[in-house]
Structures are given as structure tokens and as C-alpha cells.
Structure 1
Amino acid sequence: MKYVIIVLLCLLTGCKSDTAVLDRIEKNSKSDDCFRCIKTLSEDTPARMSGSKSNEEAIAFLKSEMVKAGADVRTDSVNVPLWLPGVSSLYYMDETGRKELNAIPLGMSIGTGGKELNLKVVEFTNKADFEKASSLEGCIVFFNEKMDTTANGYSKAGWQRMFGASMAAKKGAEAVITRSLSPVSDNFPRTGTLRYEEGVKQIPALAISTHDADILSESIAKNPNLRVTFSSTSEWKGTATGFNLIGEIKGVKNPDKVILISAHIDSWFNSQGAQDNATGCAQAIDVLRIFSKAGIKPQNTIRVLIYQDEEISMSGMKKYIEVYGDESYLYNLEIDSGAEEPVGFALFETEEVYNKIKLFSDSLRFTSELQRMPLEDASFWPLNSEKKVPVYFYMADRKNYFSIHHSEVDNMSLINKDIISRSSAMITSFVYLTDKVMCSEK
């Protein structure tokens, strides 16, 4: 009841000033700065694999952007996995000659050392049929489950990429081919991390485009004894040194309380990583820029973390928690949702705090969608599992996201400047509103 009274007083007295601030945020979001930042990251530092020169150059560029945004800036070194994709080849012979398949290695896959494996290929279009299979000794397993367009289509089909290599190795297979995780038919293979099961023989894994997966499936139907020739020089090289980047604007009332905005800098070897996640990095830094340009003094400290190695092992976030985990956090807002139209925010938060945010945002006609999930359901996120920090996720429209995800289609040509401006306005407005709501609440 106390908070309701405060909001009603705000409606009578303070909301005009808040509305004026939101207007300034919208005005400053129309700058080209965020779009330019995405463009530079995508075109000048593509393929930002952790431990790579491109990644190092991206961190240096973003550090200069944070300084321009008026933030206090620092970097922390991180041991990151160093995996090299090498060169891959996949083909088979039929009555018309040699058929090349568009293939790339799955992240962290071992290679064949350049050696060619010429073996029978056995196809499985779903997990249940694979589990019924007996020995696959001396074969190459082809996982060909199609990803559907439902909201959880990616997770439903993702087992074959994440766990398929070890599953196949247990049945004696020598290598794995996986259908790319995408709902569209095209000739761009999608990579992504696999997970080798401890104690199970490691075998190499390649992903092929959805188009070529269909071609290979048709050829197997015609010739059940089809053999494919498979080679890869991908290899694990231990660890390298990468850097987390931190920039912050100190709170004027509660400098020891932190709103953490995080985004990962790494992207795959086959992609500019424009949407995954140059956009997220630029949007996070744009919050700092807009606060400074609009003359907004945050009540709590606004901190942006650009971290390493989300795609493989989350070593950057883990290092951050090791160094800064005992500080006092109001919430962690993660930005990694692509560059389509802004939708809103998913809040893993207590019902009490969520209701306060919702009530205040409604009073200002803040129109973004706010979804609440139980705080205890956020244990998948490191800062929550280890420190019980509430976790919020920015949400953009993702209807086309997995059509480009982890592929060379994820490039600057699909980034729309006006959408980026609207996204920056929504994210910065949300941070402003929650900073004000939480000023005296935690």
C-alpha cells in the first residue's frame, strides 16, 4: 500500500519530470552512435572468437566507445578456451560424380588431423530412433532432425548438436554429421558448441546446411550403403588470454548498489556476429552514452560488462563473478536477443519487486512488454546460481533469429538503423525507470 501511495504521488508531482527524461532518452537514442558501433564491430572485427586477434581488436574499440560515453572504464584478463576451426571437407560419390556438402565444424570438436575418413553413413531423423539402434561400429552418424518454427524448436532439436557426438561414440561411431539448427532451407551451415561427455571417446563433428542435409538424406534413401568422405583440421589449443571490459557511471545516492548490464563479445568463426552479439554490446554501451548525453544522474551505479566466451564455456562471466560477485546487485540485465523490433523484458524477479516496476512503468505509459518468471527459475544463469541475483533479459522479436543464428547470414546487411534506435530507447528507458524504482527498495 505504501508503494501505491508513492506512485500516486508521483502521478501528481514527479511524473512530468520523468516523462521529460524519457523524452530526452528517446531524442538521444536517435543518434547514429549505436548503429555505427554495431557496424564497426561487424565489419572491422568479424569472427570474434575468444582468444582471437579480432576479439582483441573489438575490445579495444569498445573500450574507446565506453570512454566517449563518459564511463569509468577498466579491463580484466580472462583465461579463455582457444579452439581453432581449421578446414573441413565432406563429400560423397554417386552415379553423377562427386557431391560436395557445405560443412563446418561444431565448436570445440576435435578434427581428423586432416586424415580422410571414408565410411558408411547412417541417418537418424529423431532421438527415439537413434536410441533404438544397436551398434554403429565403424560408421558416420548423420543426425537429421529438423528444427520446427515453434518457440522451443531450437531447444527441441538442439540435442543432436550438443550431445550427438558422445551419443554416437557410445555406439561405436567414428564421426558425426549434424543438420544445422535452422527452420529455413538454405546453404549456410550453422555451427555451435558441442559437449563431449567425460569418459567417452571424442569423435569429430561437422554441421551441414539444411539444404545439403536434405540432399544427403535423399541420396541415402536411394543408396542405404552410401559412404561419405569426412575430414577436418579443427583442434583444441588449450587456453589464451582474453579481456572482459567494464564501464560504469556511479550512482549519486547508492554508489555501492549496482545495476549490471551484460553482453558477450565473442562470435563464431563463420559470422560477422552482427546480431549475435555486436548489437547487444552496442546497446549496452548506448545506455551509458544516453545517460551521459541526456544529463541523467543514476541513483544506483549503472555498470556495463562486455564479457568473453559465452559461446563455449562462459569463462568471462565466471571470472567476473570471481572478482566482483560479492558486490550488491539490484539485477543483471543480459542483452543478447538480436536486432529485430524491440518487445520488452523477461524478469526473473520476486513478485513484489516486479509489481513495483510494473506499476511505475504503467504510470508513465512505458509500453514495453514485461514478463515475470520466478526468481528461483533463473539458476541457469551464473550470477543467479552463485549469488542469487535477479536476472532480466531484454527481448527483441525473434521470429527470424534462428534463420541467421551462428551463420554467415548474421551480418550487417540485416541491421536496421531505426529499429536499433527504438531498441536503445526502450532499454535505456527501462534502466532509468528501474533505477528510480529501486533507489530505496533494496
Structure 2
Amino acid sequence: MKQILLTTFLVITVGVNCIEFDAKICDSLPQFDGRLRERIANISTDVQKIIDYVVNGADRGVTYNELAKFVDTFGSRLVGTKNLENAIDYMLDLLKTEGHDNVHGEPCAVPVWTRGKEWAQMNSPRVKPLNILGLGYSVGTNGTVLTGEVVVVKTFDELKNRSNEVKGKFVVYNFDFKGYGESVEYRGRGASEAAKYGAIAALVRSVTPLSINSPHTGMQSYASGVVKIPAVSITVEDAELFGRLAARGVKVNVSLYMEARMEAEGTSRNTVSEIKGTDKPDEVVLVSGHLDSWDVGQGAMDDGGGAFISWRALSVIKKLGLKPKRTLRSVLWTGEEMGLIGVQNYAKEHASELSKMSIAMESDIGTFTPFGISFSGTNTTAQCIVNEVLKALNPINATHMSLGKDGSDIDFLMAAGVPGSSLDNRHETYFYYHHSNGDTMTVEDSHQLDLCTAVWAATSYAFAALDDMLPR
């Protein structure tokens, strides 16, 4: 499991460098001729049927209602819990009712981390309860209450420069939020960096640009050969409070109690269903999101919305009687939050099939108003085909394509050479609610979910209906 954690941390902290696609290059590309454009245009009639059916027709509001029923019934779905497995059983039954083909779960080993009871408070200069959430894989306090002074730092460099002040104290990371990819470093390795200098615990400012005194949890990793100390998320407000007090020379004393611990390894499942292709059933277009969530909120945004537009894409195509040439496969990943475990297992177990996967699509950065999709493929003809397909989404203003890798859920598939795609949407507020008690159904909007479902169903169908796989 250690290798999974270290690999995953690298994946989620690399960041995304998508660039705008220049469609002018398609005009001078011999492979992208008038016949290919015409074949793509012929698919646009079916694309319009999908859009009309989802946004204005009988399917309007269905994604929202199904998602609300699901998250209201199961709530949060931490990997390794009976609740997640009950949710997976529910989905398997639902997908069979929806008429999907080859509905099944694919088992994989998962870690079982238990939060247990936890609390913290500031003891001086005044008594104040602290809102905290232990970070994934954190150790607890061994049945004791840790008490000590805090050292507040903004960067790892400052921590190193003040390392002689750290022993026997709490390290508070009050970093400046500079985007998720950069700031999540403090959550991911803050505990081990602090432990190198003798800290007793790490209190990490929530990785969010906006807070209403609510902490945001997430996964962290322990470096090998370094003592494991408790790692917790604290609110932006408390991190800044500690920062102001420290700047005035006021000593701050806090206490922390945590029962967090690792249990024995468990088993979970990726949830798989299909629409079998008519002409080329061994070739696959994959759509995906992850079904597990953190143990706070409802997991409606991260990633209930992404998971539900993925399986619903197949249901829409099925209800309309459309027949894709190649197989459309929906995969609802498990164990994403604790290390991309489901997709790693899938990439390993299906390694021999990945050469026949035309594209892997994932949605895990919100299901707000869509712009279009990103595309990781480097083949220029493939880029032009994707761009041409998106033109048919003009009625819902979702024609935008950016180039680059976006979305860790399919990173292991892209690493194996599969072109990847992620839903591009107006997710400016995503990290307001991410990994917090605020991730509830209230964040979701019925019309926006319809638009995202339409984008997902239309594009995945178009890629499955093309005469050939996307070139690599």
C-alpha cells in the first residue's frame, strides 16, 4: 500500500497545464479530410437527440433526482466501510434495472482507515474549541491528549529555517492558498516534514480559497524512515488566528486527541456496466467517476455528480435506442480518495485490453455548467476529431476543447497510452466545498447536471459511433 500512496501523491500534486487548441491546424491536415468531417457530421443528428432528450425532454431532471436519492440514502461513503459496499450493491441493482449490459463489481484490496473520535482546543491565550478533521492515513494520539505550544510557518523553507524551535511542539501550516495543486503539498507531506524536526503533530490549514470555519480533510502520506505523527486539518480562520497571535509574540498552547488508526486490509469493488458495441465490441469508450467519498458531508459533488453522469450517459443512450459501434463502458471507481486504488487495480487487471480502449473519460472536478472537455491525446488527427465532435454541442455552449492531462482518476490509463478526457466545467467554487461537511446535495443544480449528462452522453456516444478508434 505504501507504493500506492507515494505514487498517488505525485499524481495529485503535479497540477494541470492545459492549453487552448488551435483548430486552424485541422484545415491543413491531410488525414482530416472532408470525408472524415462528413462522417462526424452524420453523428451530429444523434447528438442532437441526446441533448434534446436530456435537457428539454423526458430525461430532464433525472440525474439530479437519482443522485439526490442516492446521497440522501447513503450519505458519505468512505472506502473500507460497510456503507460504501451497501452503496455499491444499490448501484449494481439499479444498473441492472436500467438495462445496462454486463453489470458487475470488480473486487480490489483497499486500506481501512478509521477516524474515531477527535477533538482539539486552544488552551491559551484563551480557551477556544478548534474545528478539526484528521487527515487520511493519520495516526492517532495513542489514547492520550497531546498538549504543547505551536510554531506557525507559511512554507517548508520557513519550517527548515526555524527547525530548532519545533521539537516537542505542534507545527501549524498557515500557507497562502495558491491553487490546489501547489497548496495541497502541505496537506500531503506536512506531517513528515514537521516530524523530521521533532514536532508532536501537524495542524494544516484547509486547502481551500474560502472557508466558513469548516475544515477540509484529504489524504496525506508519511515519508519512509520518519516518525509518524498525527496530522489534522484546521480551518482557515484558526490557522490565520494562530498566525496573527504568533506575529504579536503571543504564545499559543493547544491540546489534541485523536483515535485515528489503520485497520486490517479490506475489499471493495469497482462498479462496471456496459452497452455492448454492435460492430466492434472489443473496442471500448470508457466513462467514469468515483463512488467513494470522504466521511464528511454527502459526497454529492466529490464525486457523486461525476459518477452519476457517467452511468446515466449509458442509460440515456439505451433509452433512445442508439447503437454505438464499439462498447460503451461505465466504471465507478472505488478507493479514489485513499489513493486512486480502484483505477490502479483496473489498469493492472485490464492491461491487455488497454490497446483497444479508444478513450477514457472521467469527471471529478464538479458537475457545474460545462464548457466542453479536455483531451490528453497528442495525435493531431485525434485532436481534430475531438474538436469536430464538440462542434455538435453548440446548442448547449459546450464546444470548448483544451489540450493536456486533467484528472487523476484516469492517470494510470493515460500512462499506459490511452487518450484521456475530463469534463471541463465552471468549477470556480469546487474547492469551497471539497472534502468538507459542505459537500452536500445543496451544491448541485438540476439544470447543470442535465447539461453535464448531455455532454457526457453525447461525446461518449460519438466516440463509440466513429468508424475507427481515436488515433494515438
The 8 Å contact of residues 393 and 455 in structure 2, kept in 1 or not, is answered as no
Superposed counterparts of 1:7-406, under 5 Å: 7=36, 9-10=38-39, 16=45, 19-20=48-49, 22-24=51-53, 26-27=55-56, 30-72=59-101, 73-94=103-124, 97-135=126-164, 136-148=166-178, 153-327=179-353, 328-349=356-377, 350-362=379-391, 365=394, 367-373=397-403, 381-385=411-415, 387-406=416-435
The 8 Å contact of residues 25 and 294 in structure 1, kept in 2 or not, is answered as no
Q: Distance in 1 between matches of 2:175 and 2:299?
A: 25
**Cross-structure match for 1:413:** 442
How far 1:374 sits from its partner (Å)?
Answer: 5.4
How far 1:413 sits from its partner (Å)?
Answer: 1.4
How far 1:84 sits from its partner (Å)?
Answer: 0.5
Secondary structure (helix, strand or coil) at the match of 1:93 reads: strand
Q: Distance in 1 between matches of 2:41 and 2:152?
A: 67
Aligned-residue sequence identity (percent) comes to: 25
Alignment CA distance shift 1:175-1:2 (3 Å): closer
Q: Deviations over 1:159-198 (max 9, x none)?
A: 1100100101111111110111111131110000011001
Secondary structure (helix, strand or coil) at the match of 1:191 reads: coil
Gaps of 5+ in 2: 1-29
Alignment CA distance shift 1:11-1:45 (3 Å): closer
Secondary structure (helix, strand or coil) at the match of 1:238 reads: coil
Secondary structure (helix, strand or coil) at the match of 1:326 reads: helix
Q: Distance in 1 between matches of 2:58 and 2:449?
A: 9
Q: Distance in 1 between matches of 2:409 and 2:364?
A: 18
Q: Distance in 2 between matches of 1:202 and 1:89?
A: 19
**Cross-structure match for 2:453:** 424
The 8 Å contact of residues 254 and 439 in structure 1, kept in 2 or not, is answered as no
The 8 Å contact of residues 362 and 409 in structure 2, kept in 1 or not, is answered as no
Q: Distance in 1 between matches of 2:123 and 2:46?
A: 71
Q: Distance in 1 between matches of 2:147 and 2:272?
A: 49
Q: Which amino acid aligns with 1:330?
A: S
Secondary structure (helix, strand or coil) at the match of 1:158 reads: helix
The answer on 1:6 being equivalent to 2:35 is yes
Q: Distance in 2 between matches of 1:39 and 1:402?
A: 21
Secondary structure (helix, strand or coil) at the match of 1:439 reads: coil
Gaps of 5+ in 1: none
Alignment CA distance shift 1:69-1:121 (3 Å): same
Q: Distance in 1 between matches of 2:400 and 2:286?
A: 18
Q: Distance in 2 between matches of 1:401 and 1:58?
A: 24
Q: Which amino acid aligns with 2:361?
A: L
Q: Distance in 1 between matches of 2:291 and 2:410?
A: 20
How far 1:291 sits from its partner (Å)?
Answer: 0.5
Secondary structure (helix, strand or coil) at the match of 1:145 reads: coil
Alignment CA distance shift 1:360-1:40 (3 Å): closer
Q: Deviations over 1:365-384 (max 9, x none)?
A: 46424434357999981112
Alignment CA distance shift 1:361-1:404 (3 Å): closer
Alignment CA distance shift 1:18-1:160 (3 Å): closer
Deviates more, 1:221-230 or 1:106-115: 221-230
Q: Which amino acid aligns with 1:121?
A: V
Q: Deviations over 1:291-313 (max 9, x none)?
A: 11111111110000111111112
Q: Distance in 2 between matches of 1:86 and 1:100?
A: 18
Q: Deviations over 1:73-103 (max 9, x none)?
A: 01121111100111212112235x4211111
Alignment CA distance shift 1:3-1:28 (3 Å): farther
The 8 Å contact of residues 51 and 80 in structure 1, kept in 2 or not, is answered as yes
How far 1:230 sits from its partner (Å)?
Answer: 1.4
TM-score normalised by structure 2 residue count: 0.86
Q: Which amino acid aligns with 1:64?
A: D
Deviates more, 1:364-373 or 1:122-131: 364-373
Q: Distance in 2 between matches of 1:173 and 1:335?
A: 38
Q: Distance in 1 between matches of 2:157 and 2:148?
A: 23
Q: Deviations over 1:357-405 (max 9, x none)?
A: 21343367464244343579999811122x2111111122111001111
Secondary structure (helix, strand or coil) at the match of 1:118 reads: strand
Q: Distance in 1 between matches of 2:469 and 2:292?
A: 36
Q: Which amino acid aligns with 1:68?
A: T
Deviates more, 1:272-281 or 1:374-383: 374-383
